A = this chain, B = another copy of it.
């Protein structure tokens, strides 16, 4: 018997661990190692890789080898990989599969990869309602190899293949063969639609603790099942993507991704940020004569920008996460806005007073303290406001808030912060200077 500890020690032999190792290698090296493995192992390793890497490797394999490897991979995973291949290679692969396999993969390819249809398993056991439990068992015996160990439910369909109920496998254990199957069918079934977003699917599983949910076509036909273990990967990947997008990384980059693959995405983000940083610098340059007369103002630029950024990012993170977890319907969003503004004003007053006091004592200049404090207060209110409104606005515009919020929020807090702070300073100089 293996303990979890053993499974860590077996790092080199489990396909999932081999997949991890191959993903950390340069592409050519990974392709070479995969070619050297026995086909069965190579196939298992391919199916454990993230589909992006698997697709990149697939492009470098000869079609006959690729075909051999994909034969042992589930249609769900073949679809994930094939969906990322260029059109012509995709047709070659599809034609090389058996007709049944090929049509199953084509069916799955119709659904976007981030929908319930895209993450469902198309293998499930379907039964008609009007049979006895004995008939049901006989059918299961015939199709024993299609009946996976992890199956929790059998699905009962009507003549149009519409779902009418489920039978927990557990209940079959206590069956009396001559009773109609109908007696043990549960008809209250929560189900997904093929076009449900995977974020919504994750939310349903997380909230209601399901182990498996059936997936229906728009017309009510049962076409697949989403299981909890698949949702785990979906949630891990979504969380990784959101976290990384918020920092301006691609959702697919990993610590082990070669720098060549990471370079262009990171550079794009840096260039975008460079543009906004120059805009903030330009705002400062508008107050050149003010700073020339009052150099100490420059010491407070990072303090203003830093605190504004912290408040903006805090608020934005909470709102984005709330939206992902489905905690922010419209009425809650208004409440969240009120909460963030309350905190913005309160924190602004306290941090403004402290910063002002700090500025006064440090530089021995009371007016500088007033300018810094007032600038900080206004900046923190702007930060709280933009931290709520930017992600909510982006969602309305159908732009992924995780992807674009942070650059807007930090730009707004930098520009607003410098403008308020230096503007007040200029005004003071004009009035009292």
Contact = CB atoms under 8 A, between A and B. Distances in A.
A208 B332 contact: no
Contacts of A196: 4
Copies in the complex: 2
A149 B212 CA distance: 12
Nearest to A326: B20
A1 B321 CA distance: 31
Contacts of A362: 278
A325 interface: yes
Contacts of A81: none
Contact of A354 (B253, B274, B346): B274
B165 A151 contact: no
Interface string A411-426: 0001000100000000
Given A229-B228, A299-B285, A301-B301, A266 B314 contact: yes
A370 interface: no
A339 B216 contact: no
Contacts of A149: 152, 168, 170-171
B302 A414 contact: yes
A259 to B, nearest CB: 5
B310 A270 contact: yes
A110 interface: no
B4 A307 contact: no
Interface string A262-291: 110011011101101110111011001001
Contacts of A306: 273, 276-277, 280, 305, 410, 414
A433 interface: no
Given A244-B317, A418-B302, A358 B211 contact: no
B247 A314 contact: yes
B239 A235 contact: yes
A366 interface: no
A282 B310 CA distance: 19
Contact of A291 (B3, B216, B295): B295
A325 B240 contact: yes
A204 B16 CA distance: 10
Interface string A78-109: 00000000000000000000000000000000
A239 B247 contact: no
A339 B301 contact: no
B254 A322 contact: yes
Given A259-B343, A274-B354, A302-B418, A317 B247 contact: yes
A112 B174 CA distance: 38
B192 A4 contact: yes
Nearest to A245: B317
B174 A173 contact: no
Given A248-B314, A350-B267, A255 B303 contact: no
Contact of A24 (B206, B297, B299, B332): B332
